[in-house]
C-alpha cells in the first residue's frame, strides 16, 4: 500500500470559466474553491461530524428519514451469496463464470456482437503520437464516438489501455474531459486542471508507448441529452464555442433529468449500467481489430464513474489484464444511511447486492492485478466503506496466493485523479501489462 502526504494543487477554476459551468458542481459541494482552502477541503470532515451529531436522532439524520430502517434492514439481510470470500471456490474460473452470468442477467442488456464498422473521421499527427477521431458500432443501431491514440514510433503491436472518463455532473463533454485537443473550450481545460491536475492521462500513456481508446459514455459528450428547446435556442452544439453559462445550464438540466432517463430505460426493460458495460466491452472488441494493438495486453482505468466502469469492465471481461480504479471503491454496506445521495443512476444494477458487493465485482478480475486510488478528503464514499473494500480485496488476492497483485494508493485530497496517482497507474501497467 502506498501512502502520500503531499497536498493536491487546485486550479483557480472561476478565473478560467467565469461564473458558470462548474458552479453546479460547487453548489453540490464537489468542486474546489478558487483558493483551495474552502469548504471542499473540509467537506468530508464536516459530513462525518454531522453524522456523529445526528446519531441520536430518530433516523440518525439519514436523508432517507423514516424510510431508513426498512431499507437498512433489507440491506443487512442481503447475503452477497456469490462473493468470493463466502463461496471460497476451489475452481476460480467456474466461480467467475457463475458470478459474471448473474451480473449479466441483472444488467438486462446483452446485445449480440456486431461488426464495429469503424469510420475514421480525422487523423492528427501530434509529433510523438497519432490521434484519431472515429466512430464504431457497439450494436447495429448504436455508433459510439471515440478518440484512439497510439505512439508514432513503436514496434507494433503495443499494449492498450481503455481510458474511461468521469461523471462529475459534467455532461457536455465526455472523452474531451480526459483527452486534450486543439483550440478546446477553456471550460474543458479548467475541468481537467481540477480533476486531473491539468494532465491528459491518455496522451501521457500514448507517449509512453500504449495505444489508448476513450469513448463517450452514454448520456455524455456527443451522446448527451439534447432537447427540441436546445435546437430552437441554438445551444447545446459543438458547432460554436459555447459560454460557461450555457454549459452550466446544460449540465444542470441534464443532471436533473438523469432519474427520468434511468426510469425510462428500466421501463424499456434494460439498465443504464447494462448499456455502459456493454459499450465498454464492445470497445475491447474494436481494439481487437486494430493492428497497432496487442489484444493480449489490455488494461483499463478511470476516475469516479470511470472507476465504476473500470471495476465492472475488469470484472466482466477477462481480456483486461490489469486495472486501476480511481475514486470509486467502497463496500455498499456503509453507504446506507448517510451516503445514499451519492449513488448515481448510471451505476445502478438492481439486485446486485443480493449476490455481490462492489469490491466483489472487482475481485472477478483475479488473478489479474488491480490497483485502487482514493483521496482522504473524498466526500462521495464513507471512509469505513473504502477501508472495508480494501480489506475485502486484499483477502481475496491473499486467498489465491497473489497478494502482490492488489495495491492501493491513498493521497491527501478530494475526489480526483492526481498526477502522482496517474504516474503510479502507468508504473502498475508497465509492471503487469
**Which pLDDT band holds residue 336 (cuts at 50, 70, 90)?**
confident
Structure confidence at residue 1 (pLDDT): 53
Distance of alpha carbon 254 from the chain centroid: 18
The whole-number average pLDDT for the span 230-236 is 94
Cell of 191: 475541468
Instruction: Render pLDDT for 375-400 as a digit per residue (tens, 0 to 9).
Output: 999 999 999 999 999 999 999 999 99
Please provide residue 74's backbone torsions phi and psi, each rounded to the nearest 5 degrees: -65, -40
The whole-number average pLDDT for the span 198-205 is 98
Structure confidence at residue 113 (pLDDT): 87
The yes-or-no verdict on residue 20 having pLDDT over 50 is no
Distance from the first to the final alpha carbon of the chain: 20
Give the sheet arrangement for strand 2-3, strand by strand.
2-3, 406-411, 370-375, 320-326, 293-303, 158-164, 211-215, 142-151, 129-139, 119-125
Instruction: Render pLDDT for 287-316 as a digit per residue (tens, 0 to 9).
Output: 999 999 999 999 999 999 999 999 999 999
If one counts the domains in the chain, the total is 1
The yes-or-no verdict on residue 122 having pLDDT over 70 is yes
Structure confidence at residue 41 (pLDDT): 53
CATH value at residue 104: 3.40.50.1820
The yes-or-no verdict on residue 6 having pLDDT over 50 is no
The yes-or-no verdict on residue 415 having pLDDT over 90 is yes
Instruction: Check if the beta carbon of residue 412 is closer than 8 Å to that of residue 8.
Output: yes
The yes-or-no verdict on residue 429 having pLDDT over 70 is yes
Structure confidence at residue 341 (pLDDT): 76
Beta bridge partners of 150: 130
Instruction: Render pLDDT for 151-166 as a digit per residue (tens, 0 to 9).
Output: 999 999 999 999 999 9
Structure confidence at residue 32 (pLDDT): 36
Instruction: Render pLDDT for 260-290 as a digit per residue (tens, 0 to 9).
Output: 999 999 999 999 999 999 999 999 999 999 9
Cα–Cα distances (Å) from 416 to 20, 39, 199, 327, 423, in that order, read 20, 16, 12, 7, 14
Structure confidence at residue 397 (pLDDT): 98
Domain holding 69, by residue range, is: 2-432
Beta bridge partners of 409: 2, 373
The yes-or-no verdict on residue 193 having pLDDT over 70 is yes
Amino acid at each position: 500500500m502506498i501512502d502520500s502526504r503531499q497536498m493536491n494543487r487546485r486550479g483557480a477554476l472561476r478565473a478560467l470559466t467565469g461564473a458558470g459551468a462548474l458552479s453546479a458542481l460547487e453548489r453540490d459541494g464537489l468542486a474546489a474553491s478558487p483558493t483551495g482552502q474552502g469548504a471542499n477541503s473540509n467537506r468530508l470532515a464536516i459530513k462525518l461530524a454531522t453524522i456523529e451529531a445526528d446519531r441520536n436522532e430518530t433516523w440518525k439524520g439519514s436523508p432517507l428519514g423514516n424510510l431508513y430502517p426498512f431499507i437498512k434492514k433489507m440491506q443487512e439481510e442481503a447475503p452477497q451469496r456469490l462473493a468470493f470470500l463466502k463461496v471460497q471456490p476451489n475452481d476460480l474460473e467456474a466461480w467467475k463464470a457463475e458470478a459474471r452470468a448473474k451480473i449479466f442477467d441483472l444488467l438486462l442488456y446483452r446485445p449480440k456482437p456486431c461488426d464495429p464498422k469503424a469510420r475514421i473521421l480525422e487523423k492528427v499527427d501530434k509529433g510523438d503520437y497519432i490521434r484519431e477521431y472515429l466512430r464504431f458500432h457497439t450494436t447495429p443501431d448504436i455508433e459510439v464516438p471515440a478518440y484512439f491514440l497510439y505512439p508514432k514510433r513503436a514496434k507494433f503491436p503495443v499494449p492498450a489501455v481503455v481510458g474511461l472518463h468521469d461523471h462529475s455532473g459534467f455532461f457536455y463533454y465526455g472523452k474531451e474531459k480526459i483527452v486534450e485537443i486543439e483550440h478546446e473550450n477553456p471550460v474543458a481545460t479548467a475541468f481537467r486542471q481540477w480533476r486531473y491536475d491539468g494532465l491528459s492521462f491518455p496522451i501521457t500513456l500514448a507517449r509512453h508507448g500504449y495505444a489508448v481508446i476513450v469513448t463517450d459514455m452514454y448520456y455524455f459528450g456527443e451522446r448527451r441529452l439534447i432537447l427540441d428547446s436546445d435546437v430552437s435556442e441554438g445551444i447545446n452544439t459543438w458547432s460554436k464555442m459555447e459560454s460557461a453559462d450555457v454549459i452550466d445550464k446544460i449540465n444542470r438540466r441534464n443532471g436533473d433529468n438523469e432519474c427520468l432517463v434511468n426510469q425510462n430505460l428500466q421501463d424499456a426493460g434494460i439498465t443504464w449500467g447494462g448499456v455502459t458495460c456493454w459499450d465498454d466491452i464492445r470497445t475491447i472488441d474494436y481494439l481487437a481489430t486494430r493492428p497497432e494493438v496487442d489484444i493480449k495486453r489490455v488494461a483499463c482505468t478511470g476516475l469516479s464513474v470511470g472507476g465504476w466502469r473500470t471495476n465492472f469492465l475488469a470484472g466482466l471481461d477477462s481480456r483486461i489484464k490489469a486495472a486501476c480504479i480511481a475514486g470509486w471503491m467502497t463496500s455498499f454496506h456503509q453507504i446506507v444511511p448517510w451516503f445514499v445521495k451519492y449513488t448515481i443512476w448510471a451505476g445502478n444494477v438492481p439486485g446486485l447486492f443480493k449476490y455481490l458487493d462492489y469490491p466483489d465485482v472487482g475481485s472477478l478480475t483475479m488473478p489479474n492485478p488491480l490497483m485502487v486510488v482514493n483521496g482522504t478528503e473524498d466526500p462521495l464514499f464513507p471512509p469505513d466503506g473504502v477501508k472495508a473494500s480494501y480489506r475485502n480485496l486484499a483477502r481475496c488476492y491473499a486467498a489465491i496466493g497473489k497478494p502482490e497483485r492488489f495495491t492501493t494508493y491513498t493521497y491527501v485530497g478530494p475526489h480526483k485523479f492526481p498526477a502522482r496517482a496517474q504516474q503510479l497507474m502507468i508504473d502498475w501497467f508497465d509492471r503487469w501489462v
